[in-house]
Amino acid sequence: MPRPERQFVTFSIDGREVSAPAGVMLADGAKYGDIEIPVFCYEPKLGAPVGACRMCLVEVEGIPKLQTACSTPVKDGMVVHTQTARVREAQNSVVEFLLVNHPLDCPVCDKGGECPLQDITFGWGRGVSRMVEPKRHFRKPLELSPLIAIDRERCILCYRCVRFSQEVSEDYQLILNERGASSFVGTFDGHPYVAPFSGNIIELCPVGALTSRAYRFRARPWDIEGSGSVCTHCPAQCNVEFTVRDERVLRVLARDNHGVDDGWLCDKGRFAYQAIHSEERVVEPLVRDPESGELVPATWEYALDVAAAALSEAGAKSAAIAGGTTTNEEGFLLQRLLREGLGSADLDARAGLPAVAPETQRALAAPALQATIPDLEFAHTVLVLGTDPIDDVASLDLRIRKGVRRNGVKLAVATSRPSALDPNSKLWLRYAPGAEHAFLAALEAELTGAGGVQELCDKADADPKAVAALAALLKDGGEDVVILWSQRLGSAPLPSLLNVAATLRLSERDGAGLLEVPVGGNGRGLREVGVQPNAGPGLADAKKAGKGAREIATAAANGQLDALYLLHADPVRDYADRRLWEAALSEAGAVIAHASLLSGALRATATVVFPAESYAEKEGTIVNLDGRVQRLRPAIGRPGSVRAEWQVLADVAKRVGLDVGALTGPMVTRQVVAAVPFYAGLSLEEIGGKGVRWQEREAAASAPAAPAGPFDGGEPLAAPRPNGALRLGTYRSIWAAPEVEASPALKFLSAKQQAEISPVDADRLGLDNGAKVSVSAGDASVLAKVFVRGNVPAGTVFLAEATAEQSATELLGEEPRLVEVRPA
């Protein structure tokens, strides 16, 4: 739906004429006149004000009583006073009241020096207190969770943390216990507050009541400096500020950017920084010793020579895989090394997913068809297709909830696995794992009236009535429709997705469109700079088509590749068919890798390991899921002998006979901009701290136009019938990542394998919640604990991918698999 139009009104505050948007609260409107009104409980991101703390009392002419500025909207002609004797007396008294029981912890409190209560006490307090009675005391500190400590006597009962839990993240865990002076924040059942976004309450707390256990007593404000950058753990690419002391990252804070993250961070983005300083981190080049067969430290010159020699000898029999944390510059140099230096087109960055035709990619990337992240908040209808944002792109989960809660967005969820957004949706429906093509074809047929819906629903194992209801919601639920879809859908369903978008005329509305969730933090950027086998920079047709990731693995396992270059990629852990990739790395003539942490596969097979930079040390650009080009800036120095990775790639290329002409990072950025037509003219200065969507620049005119269609997707395959067995579906948990396992604060959240099954199947198989089972297909099996979950379709079991142990990738091959579930 169109964003609310901002109409300005004029009012008077302390004798100044101020213009502010109509309807904003006085606390915000005053800022347009450079006047500060103190607040504690008020935070616009939390939604409607509650007026709980009374710190913002002001005098409004015509109203006899003092008014709370946080809950009083500005109106034309309003006359406001913030400096009268009545207001000062009221504000002095509120501060005095708040300090009645507040302890004198400032010298040891982590909030000291950056505490709103301190600032407001100095600015609006009386300076003395009439209270001499003993203050209240609680046992301190308590563990509100393994991540958060709570000093209850410091709490001023502003209600911010409770409101976040109940109204933003909607986990409904935090409440105010007891009453009066005995009130304190806690969980309703006394259990630890464990939730994907729990760390946000630390930043929301206006005093030192809630502190990070990982940061507690580590530094004071005068010891540290802040450095803005971008989180690369998922495609949302939330904006962050690193707190740095002595070249170490000690804390990660949110850096508000409404177009990206709305000022919230998931706990992975907030606490996984500890992996940067892990004792297991690779900080110098490693080369396999031919005598001992072990990886041993080596000089940079020797490591570069060994890597270049292996690649030169392999020539066109080289292949490369790039992981999601790779920057645009690194990906661009990698594809130049392969294509220009070695004569190979075998490179990929799509996590083993099947190739997508360049013309389909260009159609999906048409600027007119692109939705933005804020569109999720204001659209009439949002369809979440084949993804659960809480796992794949966490901050979007909060954005969608906000749209439903505040703006009445009609949410539909169509996935094979139950989603955390199901309770918020107007409609949710399931289809069989791997049946996305048949499902989208059925939706397309229902929208166009083409017929054959029942047959297609049978192939997808979807309810025809639910598909009809979804089609009706998309057609009649308002003009602005946003479809949030996952790259994991694969290539076959994409023509049907484009046809659905054309039928709904999404390219004709600014607030409507498609929004893809790529696999990997910079999945979109790597695709646009040419790290794929069938398309070069700018999504142009490749001069020579090469092998995708799975074909690379097959060729390497068969001894047809002599060198495999892994840039921030761990295909053994992350990609389907673990056994195939283990064989590929074992049989490849040489394996050259960039890695921060040594996986078991690299320890056993790598020829050369170059130490990789962390995201806090990188310089370069990345692209988030709606096309916003953002800038990574180094916050700390590189440890040990770690070098910039664009420089390592340039040195390797030079040794194989290709001079890429890169002496600095910005020089590589200019090469990327010159090679991608729709980036033309883009500079680091224009990107700045907030980033810029390339679709909103003049150069976007060189990008493909919105597709006319219709597109032919061929005949969908039918989902396999269980026949007593269970269909295997997979997902990747937000906590299934090496950086989680390497961060002491998050280690308790490391993903463990569990088999999600329906109550029907649990009853049929005689399995209770928590029972240990073996999930097997052929001669491969995975051990897991049973999790009986409602909304899981009968006949299906879901396992997690990329877990450190017992990963579902053990069971994944080319074809959809039926598995047996038996007690272990």
Query: pLDDT confidence of 2, banded at 50, 70, 90?
Result: low
Phi and psi torsions of 669, nearest 5°: -60, -40
Mean of the pLDDT values across residues 127-147?
Answer: 88
Does residue 585 register a pLDDT over 90? yes
Mean pLDDT of the region 584-609: 96
Look at the chain and report how many structural domains it folds into: 5
Residue 704 clears pLDDT 80, i.e. is over it: no
DSSP state of 806: S
Residues 364 and 511 in one domain: yes
In a domain, 349, yes or no: yes
Structural domain that includes position 393: 358-517
Instruction: Please report the pLDDT score of residue 624 as a whole number.
Output: 96
Looking at the fold, whether 406 and 498 belong to one and the same domain comes out as yes
Mean pLDDT of 13-18: 96
pLDDT of residue 111: 94
Domain contains 66: yes
Residue 692 has pLDDT above 90, yes or no: yes
For residue 661, pLDDT beyond 60: yes
Round to whole Å and give the CA distance between 653 and 641.
20
Report the candidate in 391, 427, 386 with the shortest Cα–Cα distance to residue 409. 427
- Whether residues 368 and 511 share a domain: the answer is yes
Average pLDDT over residues 202-219: 96
Last residue in a domain, options 479, 495, 517: 517
Q: Are residues 251 and 363 located together in one domain of the fold?
A: no
> Given the structure tokens 């739906």, which residue do they identify?
1
Confidence band for 1, pLDDT divided at 50, 70 and 90: low
* Same domain as 363, residue 430: yes
> What pLDDT is recorded for position 272?
97
Token pair belonging to 149: 């400590």
Where residue 230 sits, what CATH number does that domain have?
Answer: 3.30.70.20
- Kindly report, residue by residue over 38-87, the tens digit of the pLDDT: 999 999 999 999 988 999 999 999 999 999 999 999 999 999 999 999 99
Q: How far apart are CA 439 and CA 432, in angstroms?
A: 9
Based on the fold, state whether residues 348 and 364 are members of the same structural domain: no
Percent of the chain with pLDDT over 70: 99
Under 8 Å between Cβ of 164 and 42? no
Q: What is the pLDDT of residues 602-613, one digit of tens each?
A: 999 999 999 999
Whether residues 577 and 607 share a domain: the answer is: yes
- One domain, residues 316 and 362: no
pTM metric for this prediction: 0.95
The C-alpha angle 237, 240, 246, rounded to 5 degrees, equals 130
Q: Is residue 110 part of a domain?
A: no
Please tell me whether residues 469 and 504 are part of one structural domain.
yes
2 located within any domain? no
pLDDT grade for 499, boundaries at 50, 70 and 90: very high
Which residues lie closer than 8 Å to 230 by C-beta, 6 or more apart? Answer: 237, 238, 239, 240, 615, 622, 630, 631, 632, 691
- CATH number assigned to the domain comprising residue 349: 3.40.50.740
Nearest to 750, CA basis, from 742, 761, 762, 758: 742
User: Is residue 195 pLDDT above 70, yes or no?
Assistant: yes
What pLDDT does residue 778 have?
A: 86
Residue 623 lies in a domain: yes
What's the one-letter identity of residue 766? G
- pLDDT the model gives residue 720: 87
Q: Minimal CA–CA distance to 352: which of 92, 551, 210?
A: 551
pLDDT over 90 (residue 148): yes
> Using omega within 30 degrees of 0 as the cis cutoff, is the peptide bond preceding 759 cis?
no
Query: Does residue 307 share a domain with residue 411?
Result: no
Give 707's pLDDT tier (boundaries 50, 70, 90).
Answer: confident
Q: Is the pLDDT of residue 714 over 80?
A: yes
Looking at the fold, whether 448 and 368 belong to one and the same domain comes out as yes
CATH of the domain at 30: 3.10.20.740
Instruction: Among 178-192, 342-356, 437-451, name the one with the lowest average pLDDT.
Output: 178-192
DSSP string, 20-63: EETT-BHHHHGGGGT-----SS--GGG-S----S-TTEEEETT-
Give tens-digit pLDDT for 379-417. 999 999 999 999 999 999 999 999 999 999 999 999 999
Reported as a pLDDT band with limits 50, 70 and 90, residue 712 is: confident
Mean pLDDT on 230-254? 97
CATH number at residue 789: 2.40.40.20
* 34, 147: one domain: no
Per-residue pLDDT at 138: 86
Identify the H or E element spanning 9.
Answer: strand 8-13
Please indicate, yes or no, if residue 1 is contained in any of the structural domains.
no
Residue where a domain terminates, one of 79, 98, 117:
98
